[in-house]
Each structure stands twice: as C-alpha cells, then as structure tokens.
Chains A and B, each alone.
Chain A
Amino acid sequence: MSVAVALRPSRRAPSGALALGLSTLWLSLIVLIPLAAVVARSVDGGMGDFWASATTKQALDALQFTLIVSLVVAAINAAFGTLVAWVLVRDRFRGRGFVNALIDLPFALPTIVAGLTLLALYGPRSPIGVDVAFTKVAVAMALLFVTLPFVIRSVQPVLIELDREMEEAAASLGAGPLTTFRRIILPNLVPAILSGAALAFSRAVGEFGSIILLSGNIPFDTQVSSVYAFKQIESDNIDGAAAVSVVLLVVALAVLLGIRGLERWRA
C-alpha cells in the first residue's frame, strides 16, 4: 500500500494552519494595521482635504523631483548594473570574488552612514575637490549607492543559467559577438533587468537616510517626498504628511504589483 495514500492530509494541515494564522496575525499587527492608520488619517477630513494636502506646490515639486530622479537612477542602474553583472559572471580576474561580495555593501551599510560617506567625498572639504552637495546630483549619487545591488543581483543568476550553446549556435550561423549579445543574450536578460530596475526605483522613491544629510533641503529645489513628509511631521502637519505618505504607498504598491506581473509573464 502506498505510504503517500496512507498519509491523510489532515495530519499536515493543522501545523500549516497554525503557521498561517500566527504569521498573518503578526503581519497585520506590525505592518497592515499601521499602514491602514496612515490611509485612514489621510482621508480623515474627506477626499477634498486629502487632495489639497497632497497637491500643495511643495508636495508636488517634491513628488516630481522624487519620481524623476528615481527613474533616472533606475535607468542608470539598468545599464551599469547589467554591465557589472556581465563582468562578474563572464570575466575572470583576481579579486573577482571580493568584488562580488562588495556588491552587497549598500544592503549592509546603514543609510545614514552612506549619506555621510558620500558627503565626505563629494561635498565640501572633498579630497578630490568636488562640491556637489546640496544639489540634485548629490541626491542622485546617494540613490545610486543605495540601489546599486538590485539590478546586478537580479541579472546575475539569469546570466549564469543562460545556455551558452545558444551563443555558440549564433556564432556558427555567422553572428559576431555584438550581434549575438543584441539578439540572443539581451532579450533573455530583459525581464531580469526590468524587475531589478523596478526594485531599484521603488527603493529610491522611499529613500530617506542617505539623503537627509546631503540635500540642503531647500524647499522647491532638492527636496524629495520622504524628506518633505518628515518635515511635515516635525511641524505637526500630520495631515500633509499622511497625504504624501499615501501617495508614496500607492507608488510602492504599483511597482510591487508590476514586478509580480512581470514575473508571471516571464514564466
């Protein structure tokens, strides 16, 4: 008699249900309820109030800047991240393992320290004489640092798994290295590049710690939405903060769902 048949599913179900129950409880308590409170507060005074708070000139400027700089950073990551992943997978050189491990540094380093390090290098008193602090470039640099690993780590496994024989087949059919890259390799990398860039984008949109020191926080110029929201909290404009937060949440959710949709399309 088959053992699998003898095993009744109900034997496993209780532990599965328990795991589910407890983890859902925890998730709700820690994440869902607090986020719901933000949404609730933002529409507390009705949709009109929400709209007014979310569309003040400062809020809109901040949002525009945030979205644009995050998009630019995501695009730069898409290009350079793919390049770095390529070199890490296909090239062989001394210290490659070390470089590979270093890629995770932005994951490990606290964002405030990241801000300080970038300030040290590219701000006033910079050893290389560059003073770009308090400008949009500084913000972009901080975001590039913080989002560095996303595209690389997304593309690496795909590159490793890629069937080398496809490239050999292309060569035997007369394709040069550039043609092979363009027609064979890149199309197979695109989903990974896109989902890595999407993750980078959503991370950049919400980033706070590495920017707070850098940007001069001159309103109307280099303020990102997360810093704007923080300032609203400090000046007790909770409604304004909540409204902007909801906008950020919507962006984050849209990107998350987009990535999932991408993954489903890839499969």
Chain B
Amino acid sequence: MARLTLRFVALAYLGVLLVVPVGVVFYRTFEHGLGSVYDSITTPAAKGAFWLTVEVAAIAVPLNAVFGVLAAIALVRGRFPGKRLFDALLDLPFAVSPVVVGLALLLVWGVDGWFGGLGLQVIFSLPGIVLATIFVSLPFVAREVAPVLREIGDEQEQAAATLGANGWQTFRRVTLPAIRWGLVYGVVLATARAIGEFGAVSVVSGKISGETETLTLLVEKRFQNFDLAGAYAASALLAVIALATLIAMTVLNKRREDTT
C-alpha cells in the first residue's frame, strides 16, 4: 500500500515536471500540421542556424575530447602538487553561470579586452561562439573517462611497457580501447551540452541571422518576434536531438555495464 503511494507520488512528480511539458511542446508544434513545421525548419535562417550549431559542436567537442583524455590521465596517473586544485577547477564550468562565461570572453577577446589588441575577430563571430561552447562543455569527457581509468588500474599499461611498447603505442593499443565507452559517453554528454548552449552564446554572438545565430538563439529570436509556431518548430528539432542523446546515453550505459 505504502509502496503504491510512493510510486504514484514519484511518477506524478516526474510527470508534471518532465513528461507533460515536453509532450505539450510537440503537440503545439504539430498543431498546425507537419507541413508548416517543415516550412518552419527549412527557412534559410533555420538551415543556417542548424549548420552553425553542428559546425560549432564539431569543433568544440573533439577538442574537449582530447583535453578530457589528457586531463583524466593527469588526474588519475599523475602525481603532482596542486592535483586537488586542478581537480576542483575542472568542475568550474559546471558551476559558472553561462552569462558570466559570455562576459568573461567579452572581456578577454572583445575590442577593449585583454587580447583585443591582437586584432582577431572573436566576439560577434564564429570563434567567440566556439570558445563559449568549449568552456561550457569542457569537463564532460574528463569526468567520464577518469573513473574508468581509475578502475582499470595501470597494470595493463605496465604489462605493455614490459613487452616493449612505448608511450604512444601503449596509449593507442591498451589505454584507449579500455576507456572507449567512457569516452563515447562523455562525448555524447558534451555534444548535448554544446548543442544546447544558450546563455554564453547569447552574450558573445552578434545574433546575426545566418552567420552567428545558433539553433538555440533562433528559438529565442522567433519567440521575441511572436513567431510562436516557428519557435516551437525549432524547439521540437532541438528536442528530437535531445531525445536521440537520451537514447544514446541509455544504450551506452547498458554497454558500459555489460563490459565491466
């Protein structure tokens, strides 16, 4: 009896917060038929936004993947003063507000910023968006790979060394295969975060349609312009990507469990 009550309350809570809102968005989106949705997401602005978002993720995520693996190795296998500090700093992007991130980039790369004198066009153009996206998706791969590295221990790597493998060979043939599921999972999380970034990008992008307008910025613009249907359509697209991410996460989690 108590069990059913608990179950009901828990599911009701999740339903109210999670399921119903997302359901409503899809409902609103397709309210006026598939045709108008298709039109909405194939405007030049929408296509531009989509490809920009993809481009930014395609740059930011691989860079963070490399960083993530290096950072995980440093954290788990390394012995150096300040390791705890490094570990703590790695969590900063989780805790910092996106607006602060945008401001920070403005202050460094803006015309009056620290590196402004270099004459690079960062703010209000692609590099700025990429830097903001890298910032917010930075820790994901590291945080997924580190525990895996810790768990497998370095015996296999030692064995490889005794068999004559050098650092790079050991890494490629022993370490990398061992961490691959953690790596993939981290990449999926980082990609979702990159695609979904809004606040920081809001500050550093000029929101120039077709050039510096990501999908998330497009949603906002359409909303501000009272193009609700358009905003819902773009949102639905993002929601579909999010659901695909969820599925990938679930499948990968199963894979990880099976191989541990």
Contacts and interface: CB of A to CB of B under 8 A. Distances in A.
A7 interface: yes
What interface size band does chain B fall in? 35 or more
A24 B97 CA distance: 22
B245 interface: yes
A256 interface: yes
Given A16-B77, A37-B108, A120-B28, A83 B18 contact: no
Q: Is the interface of B mostly helix, strand, loop or mixed?
A: helix
Interface string A219-242: 000000111011001000010011
Given A4-B158, A84-B14, A111 B199 contact: yes
B208 interface: no
Nearest to B171: A15
B242 A110 contact: yes
A83 B231 CA distance: 35
Contacts of A207: 97
Interface string A1-39: 001101100011011111110111011001111110110
Contacts of A15: 73, 167, 171
Most buried by A among B9, B95, B138, B196: B95
B18 A145 contact: yes
A38 B199 contact: no
Contact of A6 (B103, B162, B219): B162
B114 to A, nearest CB: 6
Contacts of A18: 70
Given A7-B158, A83-B10, A206 B98 contact: yes
Interface stretch (B19-27, B32-40, B41-49, B176-184): B19-27
Nearest to A27: B89
B104 A110 contact: no
Interface string A140-179: 0100110010000000000000000000000000000100
Nearest to B235: A113
A115 B79 CA distance: 44
Interface stretch (A51-59, A86-94, A131-139, A182-190): A86-94
Contact of B2 (A31, A177, A242): A177
Interface in B76-119: 77-80, 86, 88-108, 113-114
A63 interface: no
Contacts, number: 273
Nearest to B202: A230
Contacts of A11: 161
Interface in A188-226: 199, 202-203, 205-209, 212-213, 225-226
A80 B195 CA distance: 29
Contact of A148 (B18, B98, B131, B231): B18
A116 to B, nearest CB: 5
A115 to B, nearest CB: 9
A104 interface: yes
Contacts of B154: 12
Interface of B: 2-3, 6-7, 9-11, 13-14, 17-22, 24-25, 27-28, 67, 70-71, 73-74, 77-80, 86, 88-108, 113-114, 131, 134-135, 138, 154, 157-158, 161-162, 167, 171, 189, 192-193, 195-199, 202-203, 215-216, 219-220, 223, 231-232, 235, 238-239, 242-243, 245-247, 249-250
Interface of A: 3-4, 6-7, 11-12, 14-20, 22-24, 26-27, 30-35, 37-38, 40-41, 80, 83-84, 86-88, 91, 93, 97, 99, 101-114, 116-118, 120-121, 127, 141, 144-145, 148, 177, 199, 202-203, 205-209, 212-213, 225-227, 229-230, 233, 238, 241-242, 245, 248-249, 252-253, 255-257, 260
Given A12-B157, A127-B24, 18 more contacts: A16-B73, A22-B70, A30-B134, A33-B114, A37-B114, A41-B107, A91-B6, A91-B7, A112-B220, A116-B25, A118-B21, A120-B21, A120-B232, A144-B17, A225-B97, A230-B202, A248-B97, A252-B97
